[in-house]
Amino acid sequence: MKPSARLPLFTIGMIAINVFAVCVAVIQFLDIYDSLENSRLNYTEAAHGLDIIGDMQYQTQEARRTLLYALATDDSNLQVMHADQSRAADAEVAGLLDQYEGLMAGVREGAAVEKLSQDWARFLILRDELITTMLEGDARTAVARDQKEGVPAFNAVRMDLEMMKSLLKQNAGELLERAGSFQHALLRMAFLLGTLAVIAGVSVVMVQSRSKVDTLRASEARLKEDFERVRAEEHAIAELLSAVLRAATEYSIIGTDPDGFISVFNRGAQLLLGYEGEEVLEVFKPDAFHDPVEIAARAAVLGMAPGFDVLVAAAREGEAETREWTYVRKDGSRVPVTVTVTAMRDPEGVLLGFIAIAADISARLHADAELRELHEKLLLTSRQAGMAEVATGVLHNVGNVLNSVNVSGNLINERLRASKVADLARVARFIDEHRADFAGFVTRDPRGVMIPELVSRVSAALLAERDALVSEVECVTKNIGHIKEIVSMQQSFARMGGHVEMKSVESLIEDAVQINSASLTRHHIKIVKEYEPVPDVLIDTHKVLQILVNLIRNAKQALESTDPEARRIVLRIARKGDKIIVIQVKDTGMGIEPGNLKHIFSQGFTTKKNGHGFGLHSGALAAQEMGGTLRADSPGPGKGAVFTLEIPVTLPPPVTGLRNAGDTVSEPALAA
Amino acid sequence: MDRLFIIFAFASMWAAGSPLTRAEEALAVVVNKANGVENLTLPELRKLCLGESNRWDGGKRVTVVLRDPGQEERAAVLRQVYGMSEDELARHFPQGESSKRMQFAPKKLSTAGGVQRFIFNVPGAIGFVRVSEVASSVKTVRVNGCSPGDADYPLKLAAR
């Protein structure tokens, strides 16, 4: 229940009812008052009416009396005078009747007035005739007629007036009575109004007091709720505090006054330092628990005398200071700790003391030591793993080169098998057989005649053979040199250094193409060169060569499944600013799935049937070792791929743009 | 002194002149307004006054109203209409209950106002009033076809 919300409605309702009642009562009161006033007015009118009737009685009597006077004389002068008087009274009566009718218009005496008017008119007619008769001199007739008709006619008028009078009196009596009853009603209404006012007042007071009580109850309930809540909160806080304190057994908390004397020494501190609270409280300063040597060293750094102030120097400045210290326990043993010291201040900023919260870090230090050891072990393991990786790389690269060597070996083998040396041996045998008659044999024998030509052809063939073999052997030598370089690179890697020399980037690419030339030729792959002229740079040639050989071979493999006419590899050299050389190997081959792009440099990742997932991985590593990057891009499967090697070098400023791409298409050099 | 004299002189002139003025004034014959008669010849008037014709055309009784004996208007009427003296008139309308003519003897009223009030009250009444005193409550009748202002009008106070 909400009294405060219900109360105004109740109050408003009560007030509305009271106002309504008072309004009704007031209207009623006014009505009655109006009626009373009307009654009074009517009564006044009735009284006035009675006056008029009185006057009419007098004037009718006068008219009658003067007529009688006239009848009683013979003197024409008197007769005329009385007749005039009678007429004058008659005129008065007519005026009074008008007045009376105006006053009593619409009241129930109307009928009586009507009757009076008729009777009076009848009397007047009679009177006029009597006057005429009398004035004509026939007084006797006139008197006789008056006795016979005049008296009853006038009595009728008198009765009418009496009737009107009594009716009016009755009416006035009723009006008076009604006015009295209205007065009573008014009194009752006044009493009712008064009572209503009292009831309204009382009910308002009741409502107010009730609302006060309700409000009081509501606020009491709220206070109770608040109190309960505050108690609950206090309880919760106490719980929290005790939980914190329990948790604080893991931490040593030492509080001091501004001078440094210990005022708080919690359970954690007791456990850590081996002192009981009463041993230290207000006796020691916290520096007593510290290694004096550390205190002295810190004091020297801060430029102050050793002591408590060394510990709180930063805290005094308003900073919380956390520092590693060594606590000396009561039993003399030492324990490494981190101590956080803060100043305690009241809201006005007045220093209340300091608080030092210390945590035993011996376990952490132990863990650190273990971690360090583990790290070393890991380091060793990773070194071994790295060596294995390096070995795999070396073998891979050596394998690649050996492939070329093998091709060259096979070529040499085939050449040697098809060698013209056998022809030369046959010529030598002929010469040996005809050693005695060599001149004759050469001139007469038809075979001998062919010998000089044969010798000449064989020698030419042998020369060609020699050239081809020399070329192949050079290739082999180069490849072997490359292998040596790979091996020495590995050695240099072991020494954390590469084989860096001044070299033309172009020639490096040419070497890489050369290494792969046999298979490029075999697969009818065109090489497009788009070389921006760059000067010779200081570069790790073997790493670059290893990367490029790999990239070109990958490109070649990517093109194997495509239309032989469309197989192309674009090789680009460009410079990016003054310090980066960019080498791109772009093919029109099978492309790379977007999902594979991010794994392509991971060790062991391959999409090739016989792949090891090592070439690109080692290439990326090599690029990384040079401080550069190797990046792969592909618009998608079937749309080719671009591998971009960026190597930081020292370059002079760029001179021109790209050498034209289209006009440098050439066949790769073929081994003869 | 001079002023007193002038006032006296004027008063004397007024006192001397007024009989002359009065003597010439016409005497109007007046009837009740309800009476239809417009003109009467002097003989007709005489008959009415003597009670010889005592009903009007409508049947109303004729009542003649004169002034009191000794008054100028009465004397003028006696002389010019009745042609009688007071005694002759008294003899013409003898006193007594048996006298039938007595009913029609002229009424005597002391003022012109009284005469006219009487005529006002009695529909068949006829009377004589100086022209200057005629009220609106009565009707003036021509005599011999002449109105009281006309030169030939027969009834005048001055006619001696």
Number of domain units in chain A:
4
A66, A73, A77, A133, best to mutate vs chain B, most B CBs in 10 Å: A77
Note whether A170 and A303 are same-domain residues.
no
Measured distance CA(A140)–CA(A142) in Å, rounded = 5
pLDDT tens figures, B76-103: 999 999 999 989 988 888 876 555 667 7
pLDDT given for residue A104 in this prediction: 73
Q: What residues in chain B have their Cβ under 8 A from chain A's Cβ atoms? A: 61, 63, 65, 103, 105, 107-111, 114, 117-118, 121-125
Q: Is B119 exposed, middle or buried (0-12, 13-18, 19+ CB in 10 A)?
A: buried
Across the interface, whether the CB atoms of B107 and A83 are under 8 A apart is answered no
Across the interface, whether the CB atoms of B108 and A76 are under 8 A apart is answered yes
- A91 contact B CB<8A: no
Tokens 């009376």 correspond to A100
Residue at B93 is within a domain = yes
Residue at A47 is within a domain = yes
Q: Which of A592, A586, A576, A597 is nearest to A646 (CA)?
A: A576
CATH of the domain at B57: 3.40.190.10
Residue at A160 is within a domain = yes
Residue at A229 is within a domain = no
Measured distance CA(A174)–CA(A189) in Å, rounded = 22
Q: Which residues of A touch B107 (CB under 8 A)?
A: 76, 135, 137
Note whether A181 and A35 are same-domain residues.
yes
pLDDT given for residue B114 in this prediction: 92
Long-range pairs for A24-32: beta carbons < 8 A, 24 or more residues apart: A25/A189, A25/A192, A25/A193, A25/A196, A26/A193, A28/A189, A29/A186, A29/A189, A29/A190, A29/A193, A32/A182, A32/A185, A32/A186, A32/A189
Note whether A515 and A400 are same-domain residues.
no
pLDDT given for residue B147 in this prediction: 92
| Stretch (H or E) spanning A580 | strand A580-587
Number of domain units in chain B:
1
- A83 contact B CB<8A: yes
Q: Is A243 exposed, middle or buried (0-12, 13-18, 19+ CB in 10 A)?
A: exposed
pLDDT given for residue A480 in this prediction: 82
User: In angstroms, what separates the C-alpha of B68 from chain A's closest C-alpha?
Assistant: 10
Note whether A106 and A180 are same-domain residues.
yes
Pairing of strands B63-67, B125-130: parallel
Note whether A427 and A392 are same-domain residues.
yes
User: In angstroms, what separates the C-alpha of A56 from chain B's closest C-alpha?
Assistant: 23
DSSP single-letter state for residue A288:
G
Measured distance CA(A206)–CA(A10) in Å, rounded = 11
Calculate helix-pair angle for A421-433, A446-494, nearest 10 degrees. Answer: 140
Label residue B42 by pLDDT band (50, 70, 90): very high
SS3 at position A327: strand
Note whether A468 and A507 are same-domain residues.
no
pLDDT given for residue A422 in this prediction: 75
Rounded alpha-carbon distances, angstroms, from residue A367 to A77, A236, A251, A429: 167, 37, 19, 88
Across the interface, whether the CB atoms of B107 and A137 are under 8 A apart is answered yes
Q: Which residues of B touch A79 (CB under 8 A)?
A: 118
Residue in A with minimal Cα distance to B112: A77
Q: Is A435 exposed, middle or buried (0-12, 13-18, 19+ CB in 10 A)?
A: exposed
Note whether A104 and A206 are same-domain residues.
yes
Query: How is residue A77 written in tokens?
Result: 């002068």
B63, B109, B117, best to mutate vs chain A, most A CBs in 10 Å: B117
User: In angstroms, what separates the C-alpha of B96 from chain A's closest C-alpha?
Assistant: 13
pLDDT given for residue A661 in this prediction: 40
Across the interface, whether the CB atoms of A84 and B65 are under 8 A apart is answered no
ipTM of the complex in this document: 0.80
Residue at B123 is within a domain = yes
The beta strand positions in A395-457, using DSSP E, are none
Query: How is residue A593 written in tokens?
Result: 């799935």
Instruction: Find residue B40's DSSP bridge partners.
Output: B143
pLDDT given for residue B130 in this prediction: 94
Last residue of a domain, one of A360, A393, A428: A360
Question: 3-state SS of A427-444?
Answer: HHHHHHHCCCCHHHHHHC
Across the interface, whether the CB atoms of A137 and B124 are under 8 A apart is answered no
> Of the candidates A128, A135, A138, which has its C-beta nearest B118's C-beta?
A135
Residue in A with minimal Cα distance to B126: A136
Tokens 């803060």 correspond to A342
CATH of the domain at A318: 3.30.450.20
Chain A and chain B share a number of CB contacts under 8 A equal to 44
Tokens 């008064």 correspond to A194
Contacts of A661 (CB under 8 A, 6+ apart): A528, A529, A530, A570
User: In angstroms, what separates the C-alpha of B106 from chain A's closest C-alpha?
Assistant: 10
* CA dihedral sign of residues B3, B5, B11, B17: negative
Residue at A32 is within a domain = yes
DSSP single-letter state for residue B60:
P
- For the beta sheet containing A526-531, the strands, ordered from the edge strand earlier in sequence to the opposite edge, are A526-531, A568-576, A580-587, A641-648, A629-633
Note whether A503 and A460 are same-domain residues.
no
Which residues 109-138 of A are in CB contact (within 8 Å) with B? 128, 131-132, 135-138
Question: Residues of B14-33 as b/e, b for ≥16 C-beta within 10 angstroms?
Answer: eeeeeeeeeeebbbbbbbbe
Q: Which residues of B touch A84 (CB under 8 A)?
A: 117
Residue in A with minimal Cα distance to B65: A76
Q: Quote the domain boundaries for residue B103.
A: 26-143
Q: Is A94 exposed, middle or buried (0-12, 13-18, 19+ CB in 10 A)?
A: middle
Judge whether A272 and A266 are in contact, CB under 8 Å. no
Q: Which residues of A touch B103 (CB under 8 A)?
A: 137-138
User: In angstroms, what separates the C-alpha of A141 from chain B's closest C-alpha?
Assistant: 13
Across the interface, whether the CB atoms of A80 and B125 are under 8 A apart is answered no
SS3 at position A202: helix
Q: Which residues of A touch B123 (CB under 8 A)?
A: 132
Residue at B78 is within a domain = yes
CATH of the domain at A552: 3.30.565.10
Residue at B15 is within a domain = no
pLDDT given for residue A499 in this prediction: 62
Tokens 């991985």 correspond to A617
Residue in A with minimal Cα distance to B68: A77
Q: Within its chain, how far is the Cα of A157 from the centroid?
A: 109
Residue at A490 is within a domain = no
- A84 contact B CB<8A: yes
Note whether A593 and A505 are same-domain residues.
yes
Q: Quote the domain boundaries for residue A33.
A: 3-219
Residue at A240 is within a domain = no
Residue at A460 is within a domain = yes
Q: For chain A (length 672 residues), average pLDDT per consecutive 10?
A: 57 78 81 82 83 91 90 89 90 89 68 87 92 87 91 92 86 80 81 80 80 87 91 82 63 87 86 87 88 90 89 86 89 90 86 86 84 80 65 74 81 80 76 79 79 80 83 83 74 54 86 82 88 85 84 88 87 88 91 84 77 79 87 88 88 48 40 34
